[in-house]
Chains A and B, each alone.
Chain A
Amino acid sequence: MIKNKLKELLASNEYEIEEIEELFENLKLNQTEILNKLKSND
């Protein structure tokens, strides 16, 4: 519920849903995992 509220806040600041969801997915990842994810999607 808290996270949903934060997502709403971001959405009201005109961020895209996909970007917001990706941000919250990244919250669970460490630096190496984020880096690998960025590289793999590049």
Chain B
Amino acid sequence: MIKIEYQLEQKGTFQKFSIDSNIDKKLSSEAKRFTLTGKNGKGKSFLMNLIAFGLLQEQRIDNWFISSISQKVASLGDENLYALNYKFELVIGENESIVSSKNDDGQRMVQFKKSGKLSAPVSFTVLDKLIDVIYDIPVDIDSRLENVLSSVSVEIKDLEAEIRDSLDNLSNIRLSATDVRDETKIAQLVRQTESLDSLELLPKREKLRELMKARTSINLLTTVSNYAKCLGDLERSVDEQSKLDKRLKGKTKPMGSGDNQAEIDSLMKEASSIERQFIKDRDVFYSAIDESQIVKDKLSELCPDELEIIRGFLDPIAMHTEQDVIESARMLISCNDKIKMDLLNDETVKLARNLDLIKTALKVLVDNSESATMSVIFGKSIDEVIEAIEVKSRGFDKTDYNLFIRGLNEKIKNMSKPLNNLFRINGKIEKARKKTLLTEADKKLLGLFERRAQIKKERPSLEREVSKGRTILLDNLEDASFVDDYEKMVILKSRMKSQSNISKYTSFDKFGMDRVQKDIQDLKINLATLEEKREDYQTLIQREQTKPAAPFGKEKIDAIDKQISMLSLLLIEVENWNTTLVNYRKGKAFYELNDSEQRLFDILGQIIANSFDGRLFLDDGKEVQVSNYNLLTKNFETDGGSHFYSLEYLSTGISSSNYLRQKIRQSKKQYVIVFIDEIGDMDSESLGLVQKEIEKVDNEQRLLLSLLATPSNNVNLNLKEF
């Protein structure tokens, strides 16, 4: 029994509908089982949809309703399609009812009413525990399976969208946490810096300080060593000078020198060499004079003394000096130039030269085309003229005196020039010979004088060195009281050499200064590398610290990464499922299933079996439990797969009623509402079986309302009890 009223306006059509008074009257009666007839569009389905909507059935998330019915029920809540308000009161017991309403403000609620008193609004969950709304249509088993597959397909697609959204969300969050401050990294870098400091840098810096100290110590040791040596030298020098002063007291330094024969021999050797060369050059000169008698005669006439001086210069009895020879040579050159001028102006010499020129010219004419003409002029052949000239000039002096005298002068210069050197060397020899030769005793005495002079000469330098070292040591030695004591300075040097910080160096040359320098240099290079490494760590730490703080810790980032991996895995799976489902619905044959296909078919099989409530009613009325539907063999399978029931078998006969009966019978809730649309598609026998099942529920006092709808030619809706 239900009391119902509603106002419905389809948006855009301005058509308004409300409950027909006859229908309202019948529904308000005690009867609960009706057949609902009327023309299509008169509101048969709407009435059932409204009551289902009023009982919040659009909130069901299982596959209890086929998708077309779910969508129709849910569409009543779409305010873009409908302006709907309603109120109905469904009696569930004596003085007990369910009141459902939606007012003009869109406020929708369901309340229990007991003895006229309304409860607070109740949720779908509360209602669902109490009432089963069976709302279906009698379709064949294939269509029903297709409906389930379609519904699952939508569900998988929705899930895929959810996974994609979630993946996007997590990826965005992950991105925001990518370039952020990594506290772990900072801590690690700080630890690395600390390790570098404690294990490498600090010990090596200390080592460098020690090496620098060692170098200073070696420097001081070197100063001490040099100072001690100078101090010793000075002491010995003073002592030696004192002894020499005593020894030489009252004595005069012998004049002269020691044996200088070696020096004389050397100079004599040099002089002999020059003299030998002079003799060669002189002989060449005199031979050259012999080549021209006329020049020889004239020279003997003009410079007889000079020729004699040069010729006899090196004779043992000769009294002439090198300067005399050099002067004579100059005179000879002057005479030569005069003789040359005289000869060049001599007529005989001129004639001989001119005839020679004519003869040369004629010889050229012999080969010339003009020779015949010239022969006519001479009255003889040119050869005959040349012959005549040769005869005429025979006996004439044909010497080129210009060239001859120039060569002669060159020889004179060549011969006389080295005599300047000979003059200088002979001077030295003379001087050396004049030196006094000393006796052995004087030589020894002279040696002592010279030694004392040397000591005196060296003394200032030695004193300067000692003074310089002393100043340094006074500033640097802890105890400088014995700085003037040579013996103690030697002991100090020995002690310093054995100092532990430098002992490994001091046995080497320069007390190992080169080695310690090299060790310092190597260590500095090593330290520079380490300092650079430390700088790098500091830079990395600073760079990390300037980054924004991470929104959460690394653990969370790892967790996000893990969730992204999981979602990626799921996305691949649901994408595969979508493809597989599309292929299956298109009728593609499946033989060997891959893992993903197997998983999908497992689920589909269970969902289909579940949509049949895990039970089948066979034609003989027997009920069997099924747990799976095998999509490949098209068999329902019992638990454990021991029995199979083929789809073919179920599709024949009374399959539609079978399914509807099963759905009605499986309901175990306190109250049941049964709506079946399109019952005209069922034969009367099948419909009768379904009606009997409804009667059973009614007899159990659980049926609240049952509407079986079918189109008819009636203009108005009509309700008829069955």
Residues of A within 8 A of B (CB): 1-3, 5-6, 8-10, 13, 15, 19-20, 22-23, 26-31, 34-35, 38-39, 41-42
Contacts and interface: CB of A to CB of B under 8 A. Distances in A.
Interface in B371-406: none
A23 B169 CA distance: 12
B603 interface: yes
B563 A6 contact: no
Contact of B551 (A13, A30, A39): A39
Contacts of B566: 10, 13, 15, 19-20, 23
Top 6 A-B pairs, shortest CB-CB distance: A31-B169, A42-B552, A5-B603, A27-B162, A27-B166, A38-B552
B551 A38 contact: yes
Contacts of A39: 551-552
Contacts of A5: 599, 602-603
Nearest to B173: A35
A5 B573 CA distance: 10
Contact of B169 (A10, A13, A30, A41): A30
B173 A2 contact: no
A13 B246 CA distance: 115
A38 B558 CA distance: 12
A22 B163 CA distance: 13
Contacts of B552: 38-39, 42
A36 B314 CA distance: 128
Nearest to A16: B562
A28 B173 CA distance: 16
Given A9-B569, A31-B172, 18 more contacts: A1-B607, A1-B610, A2-B155, A3-B159, A5-B603, A10-B569, A10-B570, A13-B566, A15-B566, A19-B562, A22-B563, A23-B166, A26-B169, A26-B170, A26-B563, A34-B166, A34-B169, A34-B173
B551 A35 contact: yes
B606 interface: yes
Contacts of B169: 26, 29-31, 34
Nearest to A7: B570
A38 B560 contact: yes
Contact of A9 (B166, B172, B553, B570): B570
Given A1-B607, A30-B169, A34-B169, A6 B570 contact: yes
A30 B170 CA distance: 10
B573 A6 contact: yes
Nearest to A34: B169
Q: Dominant SS at the A interface?
A: helix
Contacts of A3: 159
Interface in B137-180: 152, 155-156, 159, 162-163, 166, 168-170, 172-173
A42 B551 CA distance: 9
Contacts of A6: 159, 570, 573-574
B603 A2 contact: yes
Contacts of A9: 569-570, 573, 599
A27 to B, nearest CB: 5
B283 to A, nearest CB: 122
A1 B162 CA distance: 16
Contacts of A29: 166, 169
B29 to A, nearest CB: 42
A13 to B, nearest CB: 6
B349 interface: no
30 contacts: A1-B606, A2-B155, A2-B607, A5-B603, A6-B159, A8-B599, A9-B570, A9-B573, A9-B599, A10-B566, A10-B569, A10-B570, A15-B562, A19-B562, A19-B563, A19-B566, A22-B563, A23-B567, A28-B162, A29-B166, A30-B169, A31-B169, A31-B172, A34-B166, A38-B551, A38-B560, A39-B551, A39-B552, A42-B552, A42-B556
